[in-house]
Amino acid sequence: MNQIASHIKEIEDQLNQSTRLIAVSKRQSNDKILDAYNSGFIRFGENYVQELVSKQEELPKDIEWHMIGHLQSNKVKYIAPFVSLIHSVDSFKLLKEINKQALKNDRIIDCLLQVHIAKEDTKTGFDQAELLELLNSDLSGLKNVNIKGLMGMSTLTHDKNEIEEEFKALQSLFEQIKKDKPELSFTELSMGMSGDWPLAMKNGSTLIRVGSAIFGERL
C-alpha cells in the first residue's frame, strides 16, 4: 500500500459508524489523488474553483468532489454540473445562485450552510441569528438545492478546550435545527480537520475534512 492510502486507512480505522472522511486535496498533485483513488477512496475536497474544475476534467469521473472553500456566486456555474456537496454556503445570494445553476443542469445540489464558530474574524460563515433568519425565510422557491446540514471551522489554536467548545456549540445548533425543522433533511455536520478531527468526531461530526495529515504539506 502506498503512503497516502495507508494514511487514509489509519484514519478510517478510527472513525465511528456515523463519520466519513473527505480527503482535502487542494494544492496536491493529481498523482497523489490517484494514489488514494487507486486504493478505492473516492471522496475529495477542494477549495478553489479553477483547480477543482481542472482536476475534475483530468481525473476519473466517479470521484465525488466536495467544494469546501469560499465560493463566489459568479463561479458556481463552473462546478454545478458535477459537484457532489457544497460545504461552504455563506449567503442567501449564493444559495439562490446554486439553485439557479442546479436547475440549468437539471440537478439537485446538496449544500451545507457554513457557520462562523471561530474567534477569528477572517473565517466566513453565518452567525447564529443570520442562520436562523435564512432557515425561517421562504425557501420554497429553491427546489434545486437540498440543505443537508452545517459546516464549521474551529479557531486555529492549540487550546483543545476552546476548540471543543466551538464544536459543541455547532453540534447543539445542528441538533436544534434538526428538531425544529423536520421538513429539512438535516443529516450532515461537517467539522474537523487534520489537527482536530478526533474532537470533532467525539462531538457529532458526520464529515471530517482532512488534508495535510493524509497528503503531507501542500505545494
Ligand X SMILES: *Cc1c(COP(=O)(O)O)cnc(C)c1O
Residues 152, 112: Cα–Cα separation, whole Å = 10
Q: How far is the CB of 192 from ligand X (least distance, A)?
A: 8
Residues 211, 78: Cα–Cα separation, whole Å = 23
> Distance between terminal CA atoms of the chain?
23
Among 74, 64, 65, 124, which Cα is nearest to 100's?
74
Residues 151, 87: Cα–Cα separation, whole Å = 6
| Candidate segments 9-17, 34-42, 72-80, 206-214, binder of ligand X by CB under 6 A | 206-214
Q: Indicate whether 153 belongs to the interface with ligand X (CB under 6 A).
A: yes
Q: Site for ligand X (CB under 6 A): which residue of 85, 193, 201, 207?
A: 193
Tally of CA atoms within 13 A in the half-sphere of 146 that contains its CB: 12
| Cβ contact 195:159 at 8 Å | no
Q: How far is the CB of 62 from ligand X (least distance, A)?
A: 23
Q: How far is the CB of 152 from ligand X (least distance, A)?
A: 9
| Candidate segments 13-21, 157-165, 166-174, 205-213, binder of ligand X by CB under 6 A | 205-213
Q: Indicate whether 194 belongs to the interface with ligand X (CB under 6 A).
A: yes
C-alpha grid cell, residue 182:
423536520
Q: Indicate whether 191 belongs to the interface with ligand X (CB under 6 A).
A: no
| Cβ contact 111:94 at 8 Å | no
Closer by beta carbon to ligand X, 105 or else 194: 194
Q: Site for ligand X (CB under 6 A): which residue of 14, 42, 212, 216?
A: 212
Q: How far is the CB of 177 from ligand X (least distance, A)?
A: 21
Q: How far is the CB of 67 from ligand X (least distance, A)?
A: 10
Distance of CA 73 to the CA centre of its chain: 17
Q: Indicate whether 68 belongs to the interface with ligand X (CB under 6 A).
A: yes
Q: Indicate whether 149 belongs to the interface with ligand X (CB under 6 A).
A: no
Q: Indicate whether 69 belongs to the interface with ligand X (CB under 6 A).
A: yes
| Candidate segments 92-100, 103-111, 134-142, 207-215, binder of ligand X by CB under 6 A | 207-215
Helix, strand or coil, per DSSP, at residue 194: coil
Burial of 5 (0-12, 13-18, 19+ CB in 10 A): middle
Sites of contact with ligand X (CB under 6 A): 24, 26, 47, 68-69, 153, 193-195, 209-213
